[in-house]
Amino acid sequence: MTAATGAPTAPPSPARLLRGDTLGRFAYLAFCVLVFVFLVAPIVVIVPLSFNAEPYFTFTEGMLRLDAEAYSLRWYREILENEVWTRSLVNSLVIGVSATALATTLGTLAALGLASAAMPARRLVMGLLISPMITPVIISAAGMFFFYSSIGLGQTHLGLILAHTALGIPFVVITVTATLSGFDSNLTRAAASLGAPPLYAFRRVQLPLIAPGVISGALFAFATSFDEVVVVLFMAGVEQRTIPRQMWAGIREQISPAILAVATFLIVFAALLLVVVAWLRRRGRG
């Protein structure tokens, strides 16, 4: 963004001002394009490589010539037929869904309490509830390894579910709290004064209003668990292997392009999550 010489004759738009002259504007746009390429290209590149007929991570000459022979579905066949991958998908889903349900339930209740002006020690409690998000995950994983092993929950699904619940809770608390900050508590009171029992009032009045925050929090919690590898590395045995753990092994131990096929699935999954969040947002406006 080079500075233009001389004062502009007419007041330009603020964006224009920042950009300066045409050359500066061009440089600015080109730079932004490059940054977007930097953000997206790595993810895009993986997809064609997952159709590589050769067992390596590079574009072969055949692929560059768009030779049909150079492409194949062998890695997709491999992951679909491989019990290890299907089992880890089941593990990921079981752990992810359970952790999400727990985190969402507990987190939403707590957010309701935190939103109340009467809540004592609010800052401290908030800090504690958010701490799993702040703490470097390697430290959480190390502590959990000792603690869960000592109470007999090492190498169990339950242990991992509890651990992932803890990691997902901050997202639920934050998103629901944020939604509640715009919530008019007079509505609940109105419902109560009309004779609605508290639980009924909650379900019919409060819950629908905070639902977007709850769903977003749940999505974040699920995404956190579904992508979590460090705690799994420390705590899981063979029976609890999840998709990320299997990918980690793929990258570190037994390198195979099959993980690019899994990666492609996960990219599609991420795109779906993004679409769901966008859709929720639009629905909220309408």
Q: Which is nearer to other proteins, 191 or 244 (CB)?
A: 244
In the complex, what is the shortest distance from the CB of residue 37 to other proteins, in angstroms, rounded to a whole number? Answer: 10
Q: Which of 274, 256, 271, 232 is nearest to 92 (CA)?
A: 232
CB of 109 to other proteins, least distance (A): 5
Give the count of beta carbons closer than 10 Å to the beta carbon of residue 100: 27
Instruction: Retrieve residue 201's tokens.
Output: 């009032």
The phi, psi pair for 57, rounded to 5°, reads -90, 15
Torsion angle of C-alpha atoms 166, 170, 173, 179, degrees rounded to 10: -150
Cβ at position 190, least distance to other proteins in Å? 16
Q: How far is the CB of 78 from other proteins (least distance, A)?
A: 13
Q: Which is nearer to other proteins, 72 or 131 (CB)?
A: 131
Residue closer to other proteins by CB (options 74, 87) is 87
Considering the complex, state which of residue 191 and residue 214 has its C-beta at the smaller distance from other proteins. 214
Place of tokens 């939604």: 179
Residue (35 or 80) nearer to other proteins, CB: 35
Beta carbon of residue 104, minimum distance to other proteins (angstroms, whole number):
8
Burial class for 87, CB neighbours closer than 10 Å (0-12, 13-18, 19+): middle
Helix axes 122-134, 157-180, angle to 10 degrees: 130
Report, in Å, the least distance between residue 68 CB and other proteins: 21
Cα-based distances in Å from 86 to 11, 91, 230, 232, 257: 62, 9, 21, 17, 17
Nearer to other proteins, 80 or 203 (CB): 203
